[in-house]
Structure 1
Amino acid sequence: MLAPSQKMWETTVMKALLGVLLGAASMLVVGPALAETKLTIATVNNGDMIRMQGLTADFTAKNPDIKLEWVTLEENALRQKVTTDIATKGGQFDVLTIGTYEVPIWAKKGWLVALDKLGADYDVDDLLPAIRSGLTTDGKLFAAPFYGESSMVMYRTDLFDKAGIKMPDAPTWTFVADAARKLTDKSKEIYGICLRGKAGWGENMAFLTATANSFGARWFDEKWAPQFDQPEWKKTLEFYVNLMKDAGPPGASSNGFNENLALFNSGKCGMWIDATVAASFVTNPKESKVADKVGFALAPDNGLGKRGNWLWAWNLAIPAGSQKVDAATKFISWATSKSYLALVASKEGWANVPPGTRTSLYTNPEYQKAAPFAKMTLDSINSADPKKPTVKPVPYVGVQFVAIPEFQGLATTVGQQFSAALSGSTSVDAALASAQATAVREMTRAGYIK
């Protein structure tokens, strides 16, 4: 028979052993959670992307072994950071938010993973042909569109009514300029028109390149000779600078998409010509003071057969060499699926789902009813022709960009020169001369000009 002290000692030892065994067992049970995959996602700070981040609990509930980490940047910073990372094989990101410009160029360089395992219910054939074609290389999809867009006129119906002006469905630039000047009342901080002025190949140059197309201008002729010394570009830039001087807001050379969206939603813009994706924000009473006073029209033209509208999509892609392809593919499939559109509709209403990617959205009666801008958006997307973007023939593809690797750096520099012309720190003639000299130098260095 054991002494009480020995019994107590044995009992203590047994409890300790039991604790160790239970601890080991619990480690075995939670073992799989230790295999958690963290995805670092680089994205743009546009409204639809911010909304998506707020809905990712739906994804993580379905994929508890995947953790999401976000790097959210404004457009210019995002483009620079993502381009540098993928070109240097930095491996900082697992999912990239990139545009229609980058996808075919990067795919041909072998920098992107083909998205051929998005799932049986993803329905790739439902993607709008105009958007899908820009993301496809050699028959393979290399990025999935989160939202697609063209550009159009958004305008204040109350201000037009007050001024006795009727906006046509397909306005000319002359009409837009005349209306903008009539609507302007700077004493009340009402500006007839808000347009992009912030320097950047995807900021002011997206707008100005599309506008220049409708003025008969082009970046290069058939032999890749830069065309900034031609009268069509001078007419474009003079028109833009003079219009913004007369009817634009102060500090316009610092305004990009988000800044102009804020101005329009606060009631300070009579018209805003920009991405069709903005339609759901300017008509959302939670975000816009003028939500019930907004009309839509096609981007303007000059009677030359081309309107000043572009074609773009923000897309999700996976960098080549990624060690997390399966998890990244799951996320991209979720974020760009039909079920995601339905999720947004259930939380925010059909008018606020990401537009411009799927045919089924535009045949959905609920969306058509909720989104008065749906038809105008689809018509604008379908009317943009990346293969024939200009009045005169060109050797390049792309509406508001030129699909060559050199364009990003070149257009960033040209954008700075044109923004300086808008701010008044240089003249239109000087900006065009500088753009021409820069373009000739860079295109010669790259071997396009012999």
Structure 2
Amino acid sequence: MSDSARGSLDRRRFLTASAGAALTAAVLPGCATSVDSGSGAGGSGKTLTVMTLVNEWDAKTKKTIEKLLDVKLRIVTYDVTKLNAMLASKNPPDVVRSIGATDTPYFAARGLMTDLDPYLAKSDALKASDLAPANDVWRFDGKKQGTGPRYGLAKDYSQDSMFWYRTDQFEAAGLQLPSATKPLSMDEWLDLGKQLTKRRLGKVKVYGLSATSLGLFSQLMSWTASAGGSLFADDMASVDFSSPEALKALQWYIDYTKADIGPSVLNPNPDGWDGPTYQASRMAMSCNGFWFGGVIGGDAKLSAVSRFAPAPQLGSHRVSPCFSGTGFWIPKEAKNKDAAWKLFEWYFAGQPAKDRAASGWGLPSLNSLRSLVPQDNAFHKQAYQVQEQDTPYFSVLPVSPYAQVDALSGILSKVLPDAIKSGTKAGKIADTLNSRMNDQLAQGKELLG
């Protein structure tokens, strides 16, 4: 499995690990628990400490990095409690793996991230002008995400509201295949999902549609945006699920859940994620971005019956966002920033970046590497052409600096199941979500000052 594959598949584990308000401890004196950061970590000038996945690099690659950077590489497995403690004690890792789309405002607003613009200005390997627009999820101007200084870089990315489908299941159901250029409406998408779902003895045998593979909160943001609205207020200090656009998005998800045609807060996928289910012909449509083609492309039979489609839209304001943009950032108090930047140049512009681009597991972070994306067969060509059609509709959907998206997602998980089961009206559910999420955001704003 490629690095990009691990990054995408480990995303939900990363999100689960960082759920809740634990990160508040990173900026509150005395809140950090003690942690053994290991001998030689930080300050020695000889050890580069990287907090990332335990399998980020194999032994051979680690040696390559150590020789290239003239350092001893120390890998610290990502753990939110340990990260909090290291940040609070001003002895952080030199490099941290994170999710740009959801984490940047939170960390940047607390002054925990290094501004990378001065490094980009001097670098021969990495230039701001070569960065794909999706890297803007790593920007924060002090109030809103998407503009201002760059605080991290994406290793690769996808536009995560796009979806994959199986032509064999469409043909068996006598349904027309989705257009490669014109996005479906959300209602059309839901209707197709209902027609493609297969049941046995009252239980779902084949999911017709998986609509929220990379997170419900992010998808609600996207659907609300396509309807012409925003979940967050302009000052990012509150949400409003009661607005016409957000209420429409919430109602769509309630209808999807009640239809029982795919994984939801009421009936999670037993497989844990879409990959195995789609591969086993037990899912007709999977809402995942370009990276999911890496799951499909290695199987000739599966790729022969799989196609990519534009992001469905709830309204007339077409959007196709990125929900992840996983990459690295350098803590402001890091002791070995120069070595950290050299790692960035190698990882984001060197051979690893070229290998990721050629693997098909996501789109390259640098525009200059786009030509390496596979187009060697009909499957890859179709997916790439559809991706090119959706590329102009990318935009950053800003998240609030006052609470982690994972904490807000946790509120969805607590509120929605019982509310949907009991038949609670969407308007009342919206009121409950507003109350609980805005309390969370208010607490975060007060702590941030």
Fold match, TM over 0.5?
A: yes
Q: Which ranges in structure 1 are unaligned for 5 or more consecutive residues?
A: 1-34, 73-77, 387-398
* Residue of structure 2 equivalent to 1:262: 276
Other structure's SS at 1:189 match = strand
Which stretch of structure 1 is more off in the superposition, 126-135 or 265-274?
Answer: 126-135
2:194 maps to which of 171, 174, 181: 181
Going from structure 1 to structure 2, the CA distance change for 1:267 and 1:222 (only over 3 Å counts) comes to same
Q: Does the C-alpha gap of structure 1 residues 278 and 248 become closer, same or farther in structure 2, counting only changes over 3 Å?
A: same
Quote the Cα distance in structure 1 between the aligned partners of 2:425 and 2:83: 31
Which of 218, 224, 234 in structure 2 is aligned with 1:212?
Answer: 224
Distance 2:363 2:224 in 1: 26
Query: Hey, what does 1:332 align to over in structure 2?
Result: 344
Q: Give 1:217 shift.
A: 4.6
In structure 1, C-alpha distance between the alignment counterparts of 2:217 and 2:271, rounded to whole Å? 12
CA contact (8 A) 1:126 1:360 kept: no
What is the match of residue 11 of structure 2?
A: none
SS at match of 1:369: coil
Is 1:96 paired with 2:96?
Answer: yes
SS at match of 2:376: helix
Deviation, 1:260, is 2.2
| In 1, Cα distance between equivalents of 2:267 and 2:419 | 6
Q: Is 1:69 the equivalent of 2:82?
A: no
Q: Determine if contact 1:213/1:307 at 8 Å carries over to the other structure.
A: yes
Tell me whether 1:402 sits opposite 2:399 in the alignment. Answer: yes
Counterpart-to-counterpart distance in 2, 1:256 and 1:374? 31
Which of 319, 330, 354 pairs up with 1:342? 354
Residues 426 and 383 of structure 1: CA distance in aligned 2, closer, same or farther (over 3 Å): same
Partner of 2:331: 319
Q: Distance in 1 between matches of 2:224 and 2:59?
A: 38
Instruction: Look up the equivalent residue of 1:145 and give its one-letter code.
Output: A
Kindly state the Cα deviation for residue 314 of structure 1 after the two structures are TM-superposed: 1.1
CA contact (8 A) 2:163 2:285 kept: yes
Contact residue 98 and residue 316 of structure 1 kept, 8 A: yes
Q: What is the alpha-carbon root mean square deviation over aligned residues?
A: 3.8
* More off after superposition, 150-159 vs 265-274: 265-274
For residues 350 and 71 of structure 2, the distance between their equivalents in structure 1, rounded to whole angstroms, comes to: 23
- 1: distance between equivalents of 2:388 and 2:57? 22
Tell me the distance in 1 between the aligned counterparts of 2:272 and 2:208. 18
Q: What is the match of residue 256 of structure 2?
A: 243
Query: CA distance change for structure 1 residues 83 and 193 in 2, over 3 Å: closer, same or farther?
Result: farther
Identity of aligned residues (%): 16
Equivalents in 2 of 1:379, 1:421: separation in Å?
A: 40
Which of 300, 306, 323 is the equivalent residue of 2:312?
A: 300
Structure 2: distance between partners of 1:70 and 1:272 = 33
Distance 1:52 1:379 in 2: 34
User: Which structure 2 residues correspond to residues 191-210 of structure 1 after superposition, within 5 A?
Assistant: 191-196=207-212, 203-210=215-222
Partner of 1:367: 374
Closer, same or farther: CA 69–441 of 1 in aligned 2, 3 Å: closer
Q: Kindly indicate whether residue 114 of structure 2 is the aligned counterpart of residue 113 of structure 1.
A: yes
Q: CA deviation at 1:298?
A: 0.9
TM-score by structure 2 length?
Answer: 0.71
Note the residue ranges of structure 2 that are not aligned, 5 or more in a row: 1-43, 142-147
Q: Which of residues 215, 237, 240 in structure 2 aligns to 1:227?
A: 240
Partner of 2:126: 123
Deviation at 1:180, TM superposition (A): 0.9
- Distance (whole Å) between structure 2 residues aligned to residue 376 and residue 418 of structure 1: 36
AA aligned to 1:369 is D
Structure 1 stretch 371-380 or stretch 295-304: which is displaced more?
371-380
Return the alpha-carbon distance in structure 2 between the equivalents of residues 55 and 418 of structure 1: 47
Q: How does 1:43-82 map to 2 (within 5 A)?
A: 43=52, 56-57=61-62, 58-60=64-66, 62-63=68-69, 65-72=71-78, 80-81=80-81
CA distance in 1, matches of 2:83, 2:389: 32
Q: 1:85 & 1:289 partners in 2: Cα distance?
A: 48
Displacement after TM superposition at 1:246 (Å) = 2.7
Report what 1:16 is aligned to.
none
Show CA shifts across 1:21-80 (max 9, x none): xxxxxxxxxxxxxx89444433369xxxx57558724434534632241415xxxxx6x5
Greater mean deviation of Cα atoms: 294-303 or 304-313? 304-313
Report the AA paired with residue 369 of structure 2.
Answer: L
Q: Partners of 1:257 and 1:276 in 2: how far apart?
A: 21
Structure (1 or 2) with the larger CA radius of gyration: 1
Q: 1:141 to 1:232 in 2, by over 3 A?
A: closer
> SS at 1:218's partner residue?
coil
Could you tell me whether the CA contact under 8 Å between 1:196 and 1:256 is conserved in 2?
Answer: no
Once residues 55 and 426 of structure 1 are traced to their aligned partners in structure 2, the CA distance between those partners, rounded to angstroms, is 56
